[in-house]
């Protein structure tokens, strides 16, 4: 694997590849890599001539300084995992490389997505995600890039970014990778205390509880029971929402498809998860 720290060096290499019409599959990450990230890398490898992973803890998408400071950073270990996975290229820039004159103030038009669920709880978060994605996609110009449905709303936001900015790269989304007890893999899981780690799978169990009943139970009753259950288990629930999977507007009882989305705290760690269901 070749490691690049600057756009200048990366772009020189990519220009040679594109001259030879090789396809690039890009996987943007913030590092502390787990099997969920590596599944994206594997797909990028399978579908393209060259796989490129980025590791960049993007300050623009953190709405809390403490969360940014505490975000796990383990580049040496990540490099080893990417080597083992057979990733071809790694781009691991410093903040100044991405934002040489500071984070631009420009706002992206994300419609309602910017003000609901993650957008509402983490003001500015999706603007920060779009800022870094716009920089990456416009400079790297990969034919394909890969993101996880673990961050369901983020996938919708980036899809919208592609449309509004006329970006030609194709977004491919992959299902959430889970630990054997059902907990969605996340770089933040390693910050859970031992006790909280034992409780954490209850989040996915609750999503499954709802999904198993949603086609024959009114939404409000289910949400009330499930929220109460999570609180009794020790979670501080930020939101638990049943939504249309395309707009994230409220799901109406009887509609064919939906997605259950949850964000909840265990201690100071904020976990998110989601589950798509089909009642047709
Ligand atoms: P992050 O490093 O958290 O920014 O995540 C980088 C990419 O990996 C994003 O597209 C995430 O949605 C994806 N990802 C994170 N966790 C998982 C998971 N458990 N399963 C699948 N994809 C994931």
Q: What DSSP letter does each residue of 64-131 carry, written as one string?
A: -HHHHHHS---HHHHHHHHHHHT--EEE---HHHH-BTBS--PPP--GGGGGSTHHHHSTTHHHHHHH
Q: Which residues contact ligand 1 via a Cβ below 6 A?
A: 29-30, 36-37, 40, 147-148, 150-151, 174, 176-177, 184-187
pLDDT per residue, tens digit, the chain (280 aa), is 999 999 999 999 999 988 888 999 999 999 999 999 999 999 999 999 999 999 999 999 998 999 999 999 999 999 999 999 999 999 999 999 999 999 999 899 999 999 999 999 999 999 999 999 999 999 999 999 999 999 999 999 999 999 999 999 999 999 999 999 999 999 999 999 999 999 999 999 999 999 999 999 989 999 999 999 999 999 999 999 999 999 999 999 889 999 999 999 999 999 999 999 999 9
> Rounded to an integer, what distance in angstroms lies between the CA atom of residue 182 and that of residue 175?
13
Residue nearest to atom 19 of ligand 1 (CA): 185
Which ligand 1 atom lies nearest to the CA of residue 146? 10
CB atoms within 10 A of CB 278: 10
- Collapsing DSSP to helix, strand or coil, 199 comes out as helix
Residue nearest to atom 12 of ligand 1 (CA): 148
DSSP 38-55: HHHHHHHHHHSSEEEEEE
DSSP for residue 270: E
Q: How far away, in angstroms, is 36 Cα from ligand 1 center? A: 6
Predicted TM-score (pTM) of the model is 0.97
Residues with a catalytic annotation lie at 37
């Amino acid at each position: 694997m070749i490691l690049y720290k600057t756009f200048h060096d990366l772009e020189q290499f990519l220009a040679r590849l594109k001259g030879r019409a090789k396809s690039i599959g890009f996987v943007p990450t913030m590092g502390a890599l787990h099997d969920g990230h590596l599944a994206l890398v594997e797909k990028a490898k399978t579908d393209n001539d060259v796989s490129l992973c980025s590791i960049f803890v993007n300050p623009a998408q953190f709405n809390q300084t403490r969360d940014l400071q505490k975000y796990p950073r383990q580049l040496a270990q990540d490099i080893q995992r990417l080597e083992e996975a057979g990733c071809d290229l790694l781009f691991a820039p410093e903040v100044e490389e991405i934002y040489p004159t500071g984070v631009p103030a420009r706002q992206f038009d994300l419609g309602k997505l910017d003000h609901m669920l993650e957008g509402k709880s983490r003001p500015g978060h999706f603007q920060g995600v779009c800022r870094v994605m716009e920089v990456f996609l416009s400079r790297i110009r990969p034919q394909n890039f890969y993101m996880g449905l673990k961050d369901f709303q983020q996938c919708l936001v980036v899809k919208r970014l592609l449309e509004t900015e006329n970006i030609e790269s194709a977004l491919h989304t992959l299902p959430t990778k889970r630990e054997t007890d059902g907990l969605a893999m996340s770089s933040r899981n390693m910050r859970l205390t031992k006790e909280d780690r034992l409780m954490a799978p209850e989040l996915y169990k609750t999503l499954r509880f709802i999904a198993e009943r949603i086609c024959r139970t009114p939404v409000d009753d289910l949400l009330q029971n499930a929220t109460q259950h999570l609180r009794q288990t020790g979670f501080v629930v930020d939101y638990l929402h049943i939504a249309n999977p395309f707009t994230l507007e409220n799901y109406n009882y009887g509609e064919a498809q939906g997605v259950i989305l949850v964000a909840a705290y265990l201690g100071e760690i904020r976990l998110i998860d989601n589950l798509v269901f089909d009642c047709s």
